[in-house]
Amino acid sequence: MTIDRIVLAVAGSFILLSLILYLAHSHYWLWFTAFVGANLVQSAFTGFCPMAKILKAAGVKPGEAFK
């Protein structure tokens, strides 16, 4: 699995998890959803993704988006 796929899978999982927690517990979990979405948008424009940097340092094979 490449860095790109891991980042997208984790971001999607965080969004789904926070929506489940919103429905089960509190509307404040939507702030976490907004944070993940904002991070995805900024990485699309800047190319900087903290998780991608961590995965690269851990030796995960890079993909096309995060080099």
Looking at residue 1, what DSSP letter applies? -
What is residue 13's predicted lDDT score, i.e. its pLDDT? 97
30, 18 in Cβ contact below 8 A? yes
Beta strands in the chain (DSSP E): none
What is residue 66's predicted lDDT score, i.e. its pLDDT? 60
- Taking the C-alpha atoms of residue 37 and residue 63, their distance in angstroms, rounded to an integer, is 21
- Residues of the chain short of pLDDT 50, as ranges, are none
pTM of full prediction above 0.95: no
What is residue 37's predicted lDDT score, i.e. its pLDDT? 94
